[in-house]
Amino acid sequence: MRRRRHADSSVRKPAAVLLVGIFCMNVSLTAVRADTTSADEAIEARVVELIGQMTLREKIGQMVQITAPGGVPEDLRNAVAAGEIGSILNVVDVDTANELQRIAAEQSRLGIPLLLARDVIHGFNTVLPIPLGQAATWNPELVERGARIAALEAATVGVNWTFAPMIDITRDPRWGRIAESFGEDPYLTGQLAVAMVDGFQGDDLAAIGTIAACVKHFAGYGASEAGRDYNTTNIPENELRNVYLPPFKATVDAGVVSLMASFSDIDGVPASGNRFLMQEVLRDEWGFDGLVVSDWVSIEQLIDHGFAADLREAAFKAADAGINMEMVSRAYADHLAELVQEGQIGVARIDELVAGILRAKLGLGLFENPFTDPAELPEIANSDHLAVAREAALQSLVLLRNEGGALPLDADALDTIAVIGPMADDPYEQLGTWIFDGDPSLSVTPLQAIRDMVGERVEIRHVRALETTRSRGTEGFAEAMEAAAEADAVVLLLGEESILSGEAHSRANIDLPGSQVELVHRLREAGKPVIAVILAGRPLTVQNILEQVDALLFAWHPGTMGGPAIADVLFGVESPSGKLPVTFPKMVGQIPIYYAQKNTGKPATPETWVHLDDLPVRAVQSAHGMTSHHLDAGYTPLFPFGFGLSYAQFSYSDISVSADVIGMEETLTVAAVVSNDGDVAADEVVQLYVRDLVGDVTRPVRELKGFERVRLNPGESRTVTFELDAAALAFYGQDMTLITEPGQFHVWVGGSSDTDLRAEFTLAGD
């Protein structure tokens, strides 16, 4: 078999093109490249000059990151002046930030400024939906805008480095940090990751209001066993390269300043001491010359892993692997100098690691201007920022069920609405995980937004029913039942509090916690339409309430402006347009379940699986179980990746390919017609999937290769096209080389990963 080997491990992405016109733009790429090259050369010359002037102690100081003690105590002042600190975490006071930068610039021997870092994960004071919710927008441009406002707000207090985006692929919703991820798919994650990096870093990294991004966690953290945070990961190298690494490669190609090492080990080697990841892949293969920071105390934790005997050995293994900077713990500060002096680590290695840090600081323009003037930046939580937060929340909402057209509600046809549940009016909990700087006073809750929406026309009966989502009592149910019985419709705001997801908050049971399931069943007895809205940090197993509600809207943790977005959808001001970035299982026992599975030698079909209740008594053992499925859950999820309902009715037809056979140097155009057969204008996310039928290694049954958000008026049809080339079909084979093989392919276009509108083509060898 002839196949193409790719020297570069990057995979060129297919562009989705709407047939709405062709735009031409003349850009002097030569001039742009010349300017970039000149700037890079100037930075490199300055790096060499600085390293040549630095003492070993000053070099190691650049590799040390501490957490802010509050204010500028004397010992911190002295350490910064002595050049013993390269970065400080969690300074969020502009006066403190400026004083620390003044000491570094004016009192340290070489005037090297500080990296001031903060976890700006999904907003600063203005909070956007959790990243998993932003992924549900399938809108890179909107994700970029959200990161931009987060950068602008964080920059007002002196922050110049954020530990985001988190781009770990995860297929286990038990893992608490799925909330910080973009979901299960490498392609979607890569597109959104690059967008977020661009939002933080802008077109000019040195411009006022830009901050350095840090993609994390390198690598494979989302595969933690049993979904337990910090846990072991065992990932074959082929799966690592085909699934977990591509988003990181995409951001490296896009110019991300830094990466963060994972807490977990990977195949027995903790990431913070993993030379294969940090040196062979990241530096040698990908050519990354920037900054890699450990996670919080993760170098010291090499001892807990059983990978290092003590801090001295931990320092050696981390530096040898290629960790430029140590977060919080003291292995580098206390042991690198002696390791160099004893010849175990060469000065050249230290110089390489320090160079990555200096490049980041020079690229940010900190040497020219380390100080922050908030007056040069937009006002925090201004109307533009709130508008972006609202649009992100709106596009993140995923309608999972809408029986009998229960939604949208018609305010003019209702006298009373019962708004019930612990998430209806909680300004803090709707913000989600990891929002140290989020301002709950800015939050507009669903209850408030519903009241604003209906005004005096409709009476709102609000009952919390449960104090928190974890409450197990039922004492509030009677009042809730009374309100439901007297209402024309029930809007039930359920979910999980923000603390139930995020770092260190994994769950083995991902049902609605507390007494919420019982509350749903009790309210159903009132006989009124029940509209459930779930605010959560992960997919939940909602099969136990699905038949008890007329409509189910999944809102994730939607952030500051979640309330107005939810109200807009409930009352039909906007149609829901979010699509799932992660598969929803029927029950926990199906995990991991994801769309891009392998076919196996015995693939399940609707005709071949039998539910355990249908098994004959005393059946012969060989009579059943001949395909890959669970007897009690089948082989399909509750809701597939890419799924999301609309108030419009979209249909797909007339899929075509530009050629039945293409060569390795040719591009294939895939086209399909999408039509709005409904009576409202709405957005639809059109998705392209591909299957390589035969490969050097087995390939997934489907892989996302393109998507496009389109807006169609009632009765409107549009042809949407996607382009695929050989590089877009590449994968890592048995020898871990990126290849594109000739052969037969299937291609689908539709509104989710389970679409059946298919075409075929063949890729010919050279």
* Catalytic center residues: 295
Residues with Cβ within 8 Å of residue 410, at least 6 apart in sequence: 571, 572
- 129 and 138 in contact (C-beta within 8 Å)? no
Structure tokens at 508: 């083995």
Residues with Cβ within 8 Å of residue 235, at least 6 apart in sequence: 220, 223, 244, 266, 267
Neighbours of 574 (CB within 10 A): 21
- 728 and 13 in contact (C-beta within 8 Å)? yes
Structure tokens at 660: 């039945």
What DSSP letter does each residue of 538-578 carry, written as one string? S----HHHHTT-SEEEE--S--TTHHHHHHHHHTTSS----
| 396 torsion bin: left (phi>0), alpha (psi -120 to 50), beta (else) | alpha
* Residue of 637, 616, 477 whose CA lies nearest to 542: 637
Measure the CA–CA gap between 528 and 429, rounded to whole angstroms.
Answer: 27
Four-point Cα dihedral 726, 731, 736, 738, nearest 10: 20
3-state secondary structure of 410: coil
* Residue of 305, 357, 167, 154 whose CA lies nearest to 248: 167
The alpha carbon of 272 is separated from its chain's Cα centroid by a whole number of angstroms, namely 22
3-state secondary structure of 393: helix
What is the residue type of 183?
A: G
- 398 and 683 in contact (C-beta within 8 Å)? no
Query: SS in 3 state form for 253-270?
Result: HCCCCEEEECCCEECCEE
Measure the CA–CA gap between 645 and 685, rounded to whole angstroms.
Answer: 11
Q: In degrees rounded to 5, what are phi and psi of residue 662? A: -125, 155
Measure the CA–CA gap between 571 and 508, rounded to whole angstroms.
Answer: 35
